[in-house]
Amino acid sequence: MDELVTMTYSEAVREALAIAMERDERVFIMGEDVGTYGGAFGVTGDLIHRLGEDRVRDTTISELGIVGLGVGAAMTGMRPIVEIQFSDFTAQAMDQIANQAAKIHFMLGGAVNVPLVIRAPGGSGTGAAAQHSQSLEAWFAHIPGLKVVMPATADDAKGLLLSAIDDPNPVIVIEHKLLYKTSGEVRPGDTRVPIGVAEVRRTGGDLTIVATGVEVSRSLEAAEILAAEGIEATVVDPRTLKPLDTETIIAEVIKTGRVLLVQEAVKTLGFMSEVAAVLSETEAFVHLRAPIKRLAGLDIPIPYAPQLERAAVPQVDDIVAAARTLVQEW
């Protein structure tokens, strides 16, 4: 078996892009500053020098136009990857995302596929304020016809992106900005992570924590603190929000009887509300020893001030406190 390679999250994304484009001439990437500049977060890097301007295309500043071009290219047999500089800017392109990319396959009776990948850096923590720091995954997951993935590790960033590029359907890949510089072990070569399969990152018998995006690593850190207090937590990373691996989540909640659902996005109508509903409608409900607990961002636009920005979304200490209360009071 080939040895694992340590690389950053952004390097893993770039490697997936290079592998996909080198093996399939139909794959290309386009977006604002993805070429010579190397991407707003440096993810595309030197790909334009390695693969050329035809495969790594700088575009005008128009998210509606960029995604529209991607939809059209996908319908004609290409496999475009659109990079949106900040996930917030998908608001400018939602007509193409929700009314075109997601629906054309169904409206044309399955005669046409839209193998479009949209990469969208999301989340807070960079001091980018309210219009550049949102977590919009529930927005996308609500739209029939879209698949949504949120890789939390470098290996998943690479493997899920490769699977998304292969998929005949439009896939939204939400990459948390704080994760780009984190490092992890990545499987070498053309190795995929299947869409729709959750990962149990840690096992423990006292409660189950289900977390997404940057909250996965925060939950794992919180679990180590809790373990020192004698509280053992299971941590489940859905990895794919849609389609959601409900079987794994249900099975892990049944084992512990307590569940803490952690997301960075605001609580109201957030993705974890869907997870809570799934648990309440299935056999997991009768195994619960405590009410389902959600821990989420405050229902406010993300502030600019660093201390307020941190206070607006769950941090490690918040997860520890919520888990401790859930176990000790129930």
CA distance 61 to 84: 10
Instruction: Clarify whether 287 is annotated catalytic.
Output: no
Residues with Cβ within 8 Å of residue 308, at least 6 apart in sequence: none
Instruction: Write the CATH number of the domain with boundaries 199-329.
Output: 3.40.50.920
Range(s) within the chain of domains with CATH label 3.40.50.920: 199-329
Range(s) within the chain of domains with CATH label 3.40.50.970: 5-186
CA distance 322 to 318: 6
What pairing do the DSSP bridges indicate for beta strands 259-266 and 293-297? Answer: parallel
CA distances from 108 to 68, 80, 101, 111 (A): 17, 20, 12, 6
CA distance 120 to 105: 22
Catalytic residue among 49, 132, 176, 287: 132
Tell me the β-bridge partners of 295: 262
- Return the percent helix, strand and coil in the chain, to nearest 5: 40, 20, 40
CA distance 35 to 45: 8
> Is it true that domain 5-186 has CATH number 3.40.50.1820?
no
Could you read off the pLDDT tens digit of each residue along the chain, which spans 330 residues? 578 999 999 999 999 999 999 999 999 999 999 999 999 999 999 999 999 999 999 999 999 999 999 999 999 999 999 999 999 999 999 999 999 999 999 999 999 999 999 999 999 999 999 999 999 999 999 999 999 999 999 999 999 999 999 999 999 999 999 999 999 999 999 999 999 999 999 999 999 999 999 999 999 999 999 999 999 999 999 999 999 999 999 999 999 999 999 999 999 999 999 999 999 999 999 999 999 999 999 999 999 999 999 999 999 999 999 999 999 998
CA distance 117 to 164: 7
